[in-house]
Amino acid sequence: MSRFQQKHPRLAALFALVALLGTFELLAVLCLNLEPHATTQSVGPRPIAFGGANPDSQQLVSGERQYILSLRIQGDRVFACTADGLYRARLDKKQWEPLRANTVPEAGGLFVLDPPNEKALLYFVTPGTCQSVAFRVHGDTAARKIQRPGLYRSTDQGDTWELLDNAYDFYAIVHLQGGRLFAL
């Protein structure tokens, strides 16, 4: 790890993410709150592929572009939620892999922004988050029924997930240093 990465881990992760996803897609999704462009030609570096064994492949899992609904950088990995599921990629491999374990939460939720150096990955999916996602992606106010709502935690880079709570419907979570969570 370079001195820059040690001194500015979030900025270094953002630079790595720009190289990974492509400048245009990153700005459109994160900064401008717009959908990524749907042309067949990408601007900037080629995006990482969803699935397949060939890292240079442009083939996506469903055969079409996946809109990133929620994104989380943790260490040398990037986690993304699309309407079809949860994915992860190593920053140096440039290839998405779907998370497929039995304990993986449903798509349509959001990753919790954690304090720096947090080792656990938190993700929540509720009827409220799914309705928001359905409207943002499809312009639809009807959300699909969530089978396993709640707040989930992974301590092993997304290999396994533990359901922490499923008692309430909420739209956002704030995670403070020291482990305190606030749900809104």
pLDDT tens for residues 86-116? 999 888 887 888 998 888 988 878 888 776 6
Give how many domains the chain has, as a whole number: 2
Rg of the chain taking only CA atoms, in angstroms:
16
146 and 56, same structural domain? no
Q: CA-CA distance, 101 to 86, in Å (whole number)?
A: 11
Dihedral angle of Cα 65, 70, 73, 74, to the nearest 10 degrees: -120
Euclidean distance between CA atoms 34 and 26, whole angstroms: 10
Per-residue model confidence as pLDDT tens digits over 149-184: 888 889 998 999 999 876 666 666 666 666 666 666
Output the CA torsion sign for 9, 15, 19, 20.
Answer: positive
Query: Higher-confidence residue: 160 or 36?
Result: 160
Query: What are the backbone angles phi and psi of residue 140, rounded to the nearest 5°?
Result: -110, 135
Residues 20 and 79 in one domain: yes
Q: Are 176 and 163 in a shared domain?
A: yes
Q: Which two tokens stand for residue 86?
A: 């949860």
Which domain range does residue 144 map to? Answer: 101-184
The highest-confidence range among 6-10, 43-47, 102-106, by mean pLDDT, is 102-106
pLDDT at position 180, please?
A: 67
Domain termination site, one of 47, 82, 100:
100
90 and 3 within one domain: yes
Question: Which residue in this structure is represented by tokens 């943002």?
Answer: 136
37 — pLDDT class (breaks 50, 70, 90)? very low
Q: Indicate whether 90 and 113 sit together in one domain.
A: no
Residue 46: its pLDDT value, please?
Answer: 41
Among the ranges 11-20, 127-136, 141-150, 154-163, which has the highest mean pLDDT value? 154-163
In sequence order, what are the beta bridge partners of 121?
A: 154
Task: Mark which of 46, 74, 100 sits at the end of a domain.
Answer: 100
Same domain, 36 and 95: yes
Q: Are residues 14 and 89 in the same domain?
A: yes
- pLDDT above 90 covers a percentage of the chain that reads 5
Shared domain for 3 and 52, answered yes or no, is yes
Print burial letters for 53-79: b (CB count within 10 Å at least 16), e (below 16).
Answer: eeeeeeebbeeebbbbbbbbbbeebbb
Considering 65, 83, 100, which residue would you say is the last residue of a domain? 100
Beta partners for 110?
124
